[in-house]
Structure 1
């Protein structure tokens, strides 16, 4: 993937993060922590439905994309089973007991809220497959605009509520959220119409479907385990704590997701790139180099978040004061997951998806146990600790499995660095409020050590930035870099 395509994919996470930094404080000021907790439960349910009902076929589609000539037929075979099943189930649920979905998610028996939640779930499912098309076609700018424009719409609705509506309700919040999700679906649909319109008329190839299911079916169980790994914190907070604690945790996780834009960019471009490398027979050295550079970025993001977390107390209401101590641990899910995607890519390349499932189950079991023990005592902080430790376990186990089925990879530095940042983030949750100054020194010390440990990655990044700035200056003079090198003034 060339630099222009990479930049196109990066615009989406970067723009989304920038909008999120504006939207999140507004939500915190104008809606209650309980309402934000309810939205978090909708996100949990949506993610579960998408992971379960894709039947792993979205990943099968990505795996087979470059090796299949009839791509419309491939898309239809991958999409139709899950879409039909999910649509029928949601319609039946709404017809038989309209308020059940709302009661389960929001603790409110309301048929309207159930219908809105169902629309959000179905739109997210469709968007998953449409986004994979753009990723595999490496259309970064279209992918990014499809992400950014709906978030701008959501921000506009929140601003409108803040300025014009005196009595803001949860119905308004969930409606704005769902409108943005549906807008995502339509944006993706427009940008991928060249792919899905022919797929409507394509013949459903049962042999192809069986081949896709053979690869994707084990990923259903692994996907559910991954969901449990990522979502058990919110589920246990909903059941064993309060909606306020769930809201505090959700704000910390949302900030961490914005800070984890490296993970978003990487996860978007990694699958199509590494499968292409594998097809070209040029993967091993490149994967090792990318893993090292990504590890450097992850460690420095942890350090920067720990050093600057105090800023959150200036922009959030007092209800969310503990977010500044939780946010570093909340970085573990997006960042350590991205590292595992890179370090353990051998599982996918070897088509041994059962090992990913096993790693997910082990880490999910650890997360269930950790949340059960810690959430009643520590609330949002306990959930953050349990999830951070579980994702570290997931990274280690998944990487070891990859080494077993594909080839050994350099991993001593990987394990030492991730253990160090995770341990410090966990200690920050437990003792940061009482020893803030000490932890600032510890984060700074780890940062200095990282600058020395990852100097090759930092030098590469510095050279890339210098080259980019040189290109900007040359374009500003109206000359291409090639002409300037040839001495044209």
Structure 2
């Protein structure tokens, strides 16, 4: 098997996980809405936010440092590297969890509005498993075990879905505790599977030396990365905290379901991120013509514009899959989709930041967008609830997209942006107005259908280029799969 086909097969294997996870997320939460109350769905969203924040903070950015240093150290020292980067965070998280467990304050009451020691217990187990999953997943990724990595990403969604099926089949009483149990057992299963798949590396790490000197050097690199990670986490989680503080768990539940439907955009992001960065860095190293990059950017603009408009055209179908209490998801989806689509588009338009190794500008863009998100949520959530949170998030990611794009243009590659900004701004304004003012489903469909047709006519040349790119690259991809 050729190197090229191996690379294609690796991409396909590693893509199965993000794609499968996104698809399962797209169907799991809507199913849960028929069995659980909106406020319980909102509490589940808070649980997931706290899990991701705990992993991010306690990891100290050392997970990213592990990826950065993996190929820089000799193969026989990689076990020591794993031990060195994972133990500090493990000690921190065990200490924090122990402190939380014996705390006189009710963690579950503060987070979920429910005073129950069992909920705190399950939360702590879920956080512990999630932290270890993060490092174990990187072991599989760096050792190029794509299938094992992907299966372990899909497994928690499958287990959670199975639990929902059992709850519904045997008519369990629909309580938030059942959701917490399903979430905890799903991450516990993944933790056990990851531990089994990485057992060889874990055994070697246990016997390896802990390198204090290496840790000190790595922390200089990792701590700033953690700062950027916290900023981006804040950008994606601010809306949920404002809904928790200034609205209700019911509105948070509605918003979470809207974001779940918007997960169709995350599928695009998963595919593009897997392929784009390695490809463009290779082109840069080989001094290829920048016209290639411009063609990809044009293609991504077309995809994002048409996908956003298409969501508007078919938004009338969303209420068919949800109970009456979640009907507002239809309009909130139009602003919720802005996060995955604009983030994905920014990956293409801001590639110069990575090429020129100016990552500080990404951090600046994130912080600026975070400030916009906080201000937007502060003013909009108390008045408009979930719709206000969606609007604030959409505006914040628009700012994130524009700042990164303009910086990249100035430090690396200039390209035409007027039409791109025009269509994105029009989509954003339409989506915001639909959430702030009242529009019937029929009016929304007509407006977005007209926009969809106008976009096709305006981007006819770029669509032809995109089809040409697919035609040129599909045969080699299929050949790679056959050779594999």
TM-score, normalised to structure 2, is: 0.87
- Counterparts of 1:407 and 1:279, CA distance in 2: 11
Is contact 2:313-2:446 (8 Å) kept? no
- Once the two structures are overlaid, the 10-residue window that deviates more, 242-251 or 59-68, is 59-68
Give 1:281 shift: 5.7
Secondary structure of 2:33 counterpart: helix
Determine the structure 1 residue equivalent to 2:97: 90
Runs of 4+ in 1 over 6 A off after TM superposition: 466-472
My pick for the range that moved more, 228-237 or 19-28, is 19-28
The answer for the alignment partner of 1:485 in structure 2 is none
Q: Which runs of 5+ in 1 are unaligned?
A: 482-489
1:206-260 per-position Cα deviation (integer Å, ceiling 9, x unaligned): 3322332222211222222212111111111111111111111000001112442
Corresponding residue number in structure 2 for 1:26: 31
- Deviation for aligned residue 1:409: 5.1
Give the corresponding residue for 2:365.
359
| SS of the residue 2:415 aligns to | coil
Q: How many residues in Structure 1 have an aligned counterpart in Structure 2?
A: 472
1:2 counterpart SS class: helix
User: Equivalences for 1:185-334 in 2 at 5 Å?
Assistant: 185-268=191-274, 273=278, 277=282, 285=290, 290-334=296-340
Matches of 1:463 and 1:352 in 2, distance apart?
A: 32
**Structure 2: gaps spanning 5 or more residues:** 1-5
Equivalent residues of 2:280, 2:293 under 8 A apart = no
Q: CA deviation at 1:416?
A: 4.7
Q: What CA deviation, in whole Å up to 9, does each residue of 1:50-76 have, x standing for no partner?
A: 222221222222233333323223322
> Within the alignment, does 1:459 sit opposite 2:437 as a pair?
no
CA distance, structure 2, for counterparts of residue 50 and residue 289 of structure 1:
38
Structure having greater relative contact order (Cα 8 Å, sep ≥ 6): 2
* 3-state DSSP of counterpart to 2:114: coil
**Cα offset for 1:23?**
2.1
1:75 aligns with 2:82: yes
Matched with 1:487 is none
**Conserved 8 A contact 1:130-1:192:** yes
Question: Superposition pairs for residues 107-126 of structure 1, below 5 Å?
Answer: 107-126=113-132
Give the alignment's TM-score, normalised by structure 1: 0.86
Partner of 1:17: 22
Q: 1:418 to 1:60 in 2, by over 3 A?
A: farther
Structure 1 partner of 2:433 = 427
Bigger mean CA offset, 127-136 vs 52-61: 127-136
15-24 or 411-420, which moves further after superposition? 411-420
Determine the structure 2 residue equivalent to 1:176: 182
1:162/1:101 CA distance change after superposition, 3 Å? same
Distance 2:85 2:397 in 1: 29
Instruction: Give the Cα separation in 1 of the matches to 2:168 and 2:53.
Output: 31
CA shift at 1:187, angstroms? 2.6
Please say if residues 272 and 344 of structure 2, whose CA atoms lie closer than 8 Å, have aligned partners that are also in contact: yes
Q: Distance in 2 between matches of 1:121 and 1:185?
A: 11
Partner SS, residue 188 of structure 2: helix
State the 1:457 CA deviation: 1.7
Report whether the alignment pairs 1:439 with 2:447. yes
CA apart distance, 1:280: 6.0
**1:486 match:** none
Looking at structure 2, the residues matched to 302 and 4 of structure 1 have their Cα atoms a distance apart, in angstroms, of 30
Aligned to 2:67: 62
Q: What is the alpha-carbon distance in structure 2 between the residues aligned to residue 197 and residue 348 of structure 1?
A: 36
Aligned to 2:3: none
Mapped to 1, the partners of 2:107 and 2:454 lie a distance apart of: 46
Equivalent position of 1:4 in the other structure: 9
- Please report the RMSD computed on the Cα atoms of aligned residues, expressed in angstroms: 3.0
Q: Quickly say closer, same or farther: Cα 1:402–1:386, change in 2 above 3 A.
A: same
CA drift of 1:287 comes to 5.8
* Distance of aligned partners of 1:445 and 1:38 in 2 relative to their CA distance in 1, 3 Å threshold: same
Aligned residue among 412, 425, 428 for 1:407: 412
* Distance apart, 1:180 and its partner CA: 0.9
Distance 1:431 1:100 in 2: 40
1 CA distance for matches of 2:330 and 2:162?
Answer: 27
